[in-house]
Amino acid sequence: MNGSAEPSKRVCEVRIDMVDYDPNLIGSVFEVTDPVPVTAEMVKDFCQAIGESGPLYTEDDAARQGPHGGIVAPPSYAITFRNGRQFFEHIPRFGRQGFDAGKDVEFVAPIRPGDTITLSSHVKEIYEKTGRTGSMVFVVVRSTLKNQNDEVVAHVDHRFMNRP
């Protein structure tokens, strides 16, 4: 590398060299869960557990007159669905240390009592960052939640950090 290269280009060149993975990982679905039924009781219990008192989620009459025509689960209900037992076996690892670095949730459509929800998961992206304590590799796994009509209700991006 010569001294005239822009700093951002030098970082990009290092990133490409440091993160070695099979590009076929990106976008390949590695898990689909069995459908999970959603009941009115489950939604009610969830609302009580988190202190949700919004009438669209807790009151039949108000919810019927609302935009969804009935009770729906609060958006945060989407994070209650679990990936299958093999989920962590398919996440690429870079190094021996790592941890869950957070989740991003995109709510697409309401989840209703009577729905059955299925998750499908794939590696969305892999990237490297350098922080004050050194190099870190991030793996983002996207889980897409669909109802029994094959309609997407949410996307959950699980972010995992590894130290190479």
pLDDT digits (tens, 9 = 90+) for 10-27: 333 333 345 677 788 788
Please state, in angstroms and rounded to a whole number, the distance separating the CA atoms of residues 15 and 32.
31
For the residues 90-118, what does the mean pLDDT come to?
87
Find the mean pLDDT for residues 25-35. Answer: 86
pLDDT at 131 (0 to 100)? 81
Q: Look up residue 26 and give its DSSP letter.
A: B
* Domain extent listing, the chain: 7-38+83-163
pLDDT for residue 49: 96
pLDDT score at 18: 57
The predicted structure's pLDDT at residue 13: 32
- Side-chain-side CA neighbours of 117 within 13 Å: the count stands at 24
For 36, 60, 145, 148, the CA distances from 116, given in Å and listed in that order, are: 5, 20, 10, 5
Asked if 30 and 144 touch (Cβ cutoff 8 Å), the reply is: no
- Confidence (pLDDT) at 114: 97
At residue 14, the pLDDT reads: 31
Q: Whose CA is closest to 115, among 143, 156, 145?
A: 145
34-88 tens-digit pLDDT: 999 999 999 999 999 999 999 999 999 999 999 999 999 999 999 898 876 666 6
Phi–psi pair at 18, nearest 5 degrees: -80, -35
Spatial distance between the Cα atoms of 151 and 143, rounded to a whole number of angstroms: 14
Band (pLDDT 50/70/90 cuts) for residue 93 is confident
> What are the start-end ranges of the H helices in 25-158?
40-50, 55-58, 60-65
The CATH class given to the 7-38+83-163 domain equals alpha beta
| Chain centroid to CA 158 | 4
Q: Which residue has the higher pLDDT, 85 or 7?
A: 85
Model confidence at 4, pLDDT cuts 50, 70, 90, reads very low
Q: What does the pLDDT look like over 122-152, one tens digit per residue?
A: 999 988 888 888 888 888 999 999 999 999 9
